[in-house]
Amino acid sequence: MTKLLPPPPPATPSCWYPAILLALAAVLWMGWFSPEISDSDFWWHLKTGQYIIENHALPVPDPFNFTTATAASAYPNEPLTRHFNLTHEWLAQVAFYLVWRAAGFGGVVLFRAFLLSAFCGLVGLVAYRRCLSYYWALAAAFAAATMAMPFALDRPYLITFLFLAATLAILEFNRWLWLLPPLFLVWANSHGGFFLGWVVVGAYGAEALLSRHRAALWWSAAAVLISGLNPNGFRIPLILIYYRSSYLTSRLQEWARPRWWVVNEFTVLLFGAALLLLWARRRVRLADWLLFAAFAAAALTAQRNIILIGLLAPILIASYFPWRPSLPPMVPFAAALVLMGGGIAASAGSFFQLRAAEWKYPAGAAHFLLQHHVSGPIFNTYEYGGYLIWRLWPAQRVFIDGRSLSESVFQDYGRILYNHDENGGKTAQQLLDQYGIQAIVMNTFEYTEGLVYLLAPALADPQQTEWKLVYSDAAAIVLMRQPPPGVQPLDSLRILNHMEDECELHLEHEPQLSRCARSLAQVFTQVGDSARVRRWLGIYLSHPHAADPAAESAYQRLLNPGR
């Protein structure tokens, strides 16, 4: 009788398949996290790093903003908050400047991409430690990446993301605990988010008390104590309280509460992790309960904190998901390749943009001011302050910038920009006079909501003669009380042309932010130019926009005026 051979074992991917997959994932993450430098705060971070290196001192008092020194305190502890804003990120600012000096803007983009990719890798590593599944760990890392993509900006908070994940990994593996104190020392001088490390070591410390792992307790305590060696000591909890009660902070989009009722990556991870914790409540670790409660509370209070759920929720889901399907070994591998291929196809246009988005900033206006040696006080828009600091200092200082140093100046800024007086207060012109402003450098829209900065159309009025238009391009306009020698003033009505050019420029690069076109239609409605109203309503409706029956109805009336 012929002896039957046993069936061959199921095919398994070679041991190098996971390595290839991980390498592809790393390239994809680096690509996802490497769009061009477009954050307005980046520029003043860069200049601050340069200032610290060249002057061997922290930027106190503020060297870049001429309104800071004379600003009245809006609340008793505002000087403390101002000192914190000027000093708490100094080491990260130095690092960004050194990277830029060594490798230019391309180096900064790659540095940012590396920090975020390492963050995702650490999430995957901790998930693997928990579930011992390569593909679950890879899925957790990809979930973290989807949450990290909106944070691909060149800011010191990237240090917090990476060091927070590193702290979690060190405590999870319970190895290399000696790294915690030096990590916290660097962290506390790089970004104020180091206090989140206190939350992590506190949660794991509570577990260590129950399990009597004394080493983790001692190293964690040392890390917390050494984190006080920074320019602000242990004041960060007080600063956060001041932030939450600040009018200025309430006007910043990143401090707004996220819309937890909208289905997106954040809410799926948040509620998915919450449900799994409840499902597996009898075996959920104490540290997981504590961290989820703290991170979920923080994420629900400010959009800037939702990355905390991107860190923790994928790990919790990988840890407590009750169903572990048994699939042929090649299926997860093939599925992961398909997903990565789709991600590359969808996002390849923004991969490895090793440059700064100078189209977005007043490069031409800054050159005009330098060329003509304009030295009098300037009024500038909030989003242009950082770039103007980078280009103009020390020849010129700015009115306001993203460091948010004064509540009272910010309120005056709003009154000037929107050309109104509140409760019978000073007019925009009176405030410009009060600050001694000699030049105005501005863009004309807030692009998230599409709001018009009403100062611009007011300055376009031919009847106002105080301000002369001396420079205009698609990015910015410059007006002065007295034009420089040899500069012929332009027709003030060209401000309206500039507004059209500016909106077109942004629609070319950011077509999803289309409300500037709708606002332009409203401006030209007030001017009485129906042809331009029709044009801009048509442009608005041809771009992505929310349901807008009023705009659609108005456009149809303009197309068919006789009906």
pLDDT given at position 347? 63
Percent of the chain residues past pLDDT 70, beyond the cut: 91
Closest by CA position to 164, among listed 194, 137, 191, 141: 194
Calculated CA dihedral for residues 381, 386, 390, 394, nearest 10 degrees: 70
Tens of pLDDT, residues 144-203: 999 999 999 999 999 999 999 999 999 999 999 999 999 999 999 999 999 999 999 999
Q: Quickly count: other Cβ atoms within 10 Å of residue 404's Cβ.
A: 20
Closest by CA position to 215, among listed 167, 184, 180: 180
3-class SS at 233?
coil
Strand partners, 477: 442, 472
557 or 420: which carries more pLDDT confidence?
557
pLDDT given at position 228? 96
Give the confidence band of 9 by pLDDT, cuts at 50, 70, 90: low
Domain ranges of the chain: 32-39+97-350, 358-513, 514-563
Instruction: Please name the amino acid found at residue 328.
Output: P
What is the C-alpha to C-alpha distance for residues 115 and 98, in angstroms, rounded to an integer? 16
Entry pTM: 0.92
pLDDT given at position 422? 59
Q: What are phi and psi of 65, to 5 degrees?
A: -125, 120
The highest-confidence range among 220-224, 319-323, 550-554, by mean pLDDT, is: 220-224
What is the average per-residue pLDDT within 7-21?
A: 62
Peptide bond into 511 cis (omega under 30): no
3-class SS at 451?
strand
Return the percent helix, strand and coil in the chain, to nearest 5. 60, 5, 35
What is the average per-residue pLDDT within 439-464?
A: 93
Tens of pLDDT, residues 508-560: 999 999 999 999 999 999 988 999 999 999 999 999 888 999 989 988 888 88
545 or 342: which carries more pLDDT confidence?
545
Residue 57 is classified by DSSP as S
pLDDT given at position 11? 46
Instruction: Work out the burial of residue 66: count CB atoms within 10 Å of its CB; fewer than 13 is exposed, 13-18 middle, 19 or more buried.
Output: middle
What is the C-alpha to C-alpha distance for residues 529 and 537, in angstroms, rounded to an integer? 12
What is the C-alpha to C-alpha distance for residues 378 and 39, in angstroms, rounded to an integer? 22
- The answer to which of 261-275, 306-320, 321-335 has the lowest mean pLDDT is 321-335
What is the average per-residue pLDDT within 382-393?
A: 96
Residues written for the chain: 563
CA separation, residue 163 to residues 42, 182, 191, 203 (Å): 20, 11, 10, 16
Is 187:160 a contact under the CB 8 Å cutoff? yes
pLDDT given at position 350? 80
3-class SS at 416?
helix
Helix (H) / strand (E) element for 318: namely helix 307-320
Tens of pLDDT, residues 478-487: 999 999 999 9
Whether 3 shows a pLDDT value over 80: the answer reads no
